[in-house]
Amino acid sequence: MSTLLEGLPAEYRDGLRDAPSGADLAARPMLATLSDRRDFPADSWIFERKLDGVRLLAVREGGRVRLLSRTGQPLNGTYPEVADSLAAQECSDFTIDGEIVAFSAGRTDFSRLQQRLQLTDPAKARASGVAVFYYVFDVLRLDGKDVRPLPLRTRKSLLRRALKFDGPLRFTTHRNEGGQLLLDEACRRGWEGLIAKLADGRYVTRRSTDWLKLKCAKGQEFVIGGFTEPSGSRAGFGALLLGYYEDGCLRYAGKAGTGYDQATLLDLRRRLDELAAQRSPFAEPVREKGAHWSSPELVAEIGFTEWTREGKLRHPRFLGLREDKNPREVVRERPQTA
Q: What pairing do the DSSP bridges indicate for beta strands 107-108 and 94-101? A: unpaired
Residue 336, amino acid: Q
Q: How many Å apart are CA 5 and CA 158, to the nearest integer? A: 8
* H-helix or E-strand spanning residue 145: strand 145-146
Q: What is the largest CA-CA distance in the chain?
A: 71
Identify which of 272, 281, 284, 273 has the alpha carbon closest to the alpha carbon of residue 311. Answer: 284
Q: How many Å apart are CA 276 and CA 44, to the nearest integer? A: 50
From 50, 156, 213, 325, the catalytic residue? 50
Task: Verify whether residue 50 is a known catalytic residue.
Answer: yes
Residues contacting residue 157 through CB under 8 Å, at least 6 positions apart: none
State whether residue 218 is helix, strand or coil. Answer: coil
Identify which of 304, 322, 216 has the alpha carbon closest to the alpha carbon of residue 255. Answer: 304
Residues forming beta bridges with residue 318, ordered by sequence position: 302
State whether residue 141 is helix, strand or coil. Answer: strand
State how far Cα 326 lies from the chain centre.
12
State whether residue 37 is helix, strand or coil. Answer: coil
DSSP state of 158: H
Catalytic residue set = 50
